[in-house]
Structure 1
Amino acid sequence: MAETQSDWADEDPPADRGRRRFLQATLAAGAAAVVVATVASAKSFIPPPFVFSGTIENTFRYGLPESPTNWVVQRNLVNQVVRATDFRLWEGASVLWREAFDEEGKPVTGTGFPALIICVEASLLRVPPELDAFVIRRDVGGVPAAIVGLYDRCVHFCCKPGWHVYTVPNTLHNYVTDPRTFLATDPVSGASVPQDPIWCQCHNSQYDPVTLVHSIHPPPANVPYIGAQFVHGPASRALPCIPIKLAGSTIEGVYDPDDGGHPEWYSAYCR
């Protein structure tokens, strides 16, 4: 015979409800403590945000060229601040711009923009009016010269183009338009002394540093800028310029938009 089932609703309540509430509260508090401890423990695994303490220079500094016969090495300029007085006509160098230095004055690894500084024949330079004030013009060996700054990241694949590191082979002279560097002449004799354009050896893009033109980074950036005209693919647009100015004889890049800088010219690609 089946037993009569009890109705638990009719069961007498516990004699000490206060103790029951106390136990429930204790368990809840314990669970909360575990959660807090877990969160605190998790936080300990998350590194604190990086806070930079030091300075960022708008100057350029020479790097170490591949060849020991490079003029930068020969004149003991490696790691030195770049000055306009360093350059002779048609000399150029791979440099670092806006490098960060810690509180002890030591360079912070991985900081700065790769750049090219090139001294060209002023009579050959073509530059849009809005950038003209950010090209340095000076007499070099009795010849009017112009010093231009360029962001050293190829627009094709973000490689680092070079200036006169190696001779551009004749097989790569099938230009979209002839570089005007080929019009260079000897300042004394007037004889033709053609100069190779900027050459990215990774994929053979080339740029003309005396022909600065308007260009635009493609979507999604759609950023207009001024740069050295591309003369050989696979690049299909200009190599961005860096506005530069003199502080005494030291060359400085202009980064702040309020001063005429254009950080968006570089952040639009190769991030």
Structure 2
Amino acid sequence: MDGIVDHTMIRVSDLEESLEWYQTHLDYEEKDRHEGEDFTLVYLGPEDMHDDAALLELTHNHGTDEVEIGDAWGHIAVRVPEGELEAYYEQLMDEGVADYRDPESCGGHYAFVKDPDGHEVEIVQRSPDEGALWSIDHTMIRVEDADDALGFWTRKFEYDEVGRWEADSFANYFLEPRNAADEAMAVELTYNYDGRSYTQGDGWGHLCVRVDDLQDDWDKLQTREADDYREPADCDHLYAFTRDQDGHEIELLERDPAADSLFPF
């Protein structure tokens, strides 16, 4: 069981404002939309995104005027070509995006902006063969125990640790499915050494792992003692959800590439 990350879901307070922000500044296009009784889901991504690249899912609960950004939720990171970080950051500034953390303040290696709800978007440099412009490079979440978190992803989902960076007060660990394409999204775990705890908030939604066989892969997770949060039968056998040791939700989704809709409904 080593499926790629299919999408990252975040909640937004004003769907049209968020759609305009991502479509204007990151050149995302709407890939699909589902209108529920009291919510709307929209998949977004670059026009020429790779089949193994991750989508961004925006969820808007109708009647919601504000979302809470908890500190367990970190950010998504999007790609720009190597050597062009400053140029693309200045482009965002010229378009009216708020100046949050510019390249100079980040040692020239990356930068950060925020979307209308305060979701952080990191800008990282990658070679052209590692994914389309503005495609999602990784999603970062904070964890309270690095050993438990690494064990969760390596044992239950069969992900490999592909990189780490250890500083004086924190460490970052990057995990990917085995033999993942260059365009696939990584999961970044951030562990702070001071023993702090985190709040989830409702602005952070979930990660979704694309699986080959929903029931079979769910059964494997249960054998590996994953949290039985929302089993396939509870979700009309369309998807399922487990949770990691910190309460981060992970959806399992069996996607049919030939289907008319990206959603399983």
Instruction: Flag whether TM exceeds 0.5 (same fold).
Output: no
What range describes the TM-score normalised by the shorter chain of this pair? under 0.3
Per residue, is there more strand in 1 or in 2?
2
- TM-score, normalising length: structure 2: 0.27
- TM-score, normalising length: structure 1: 0.27
Structure whose alpha-carbon radius of gyration is higher: 1
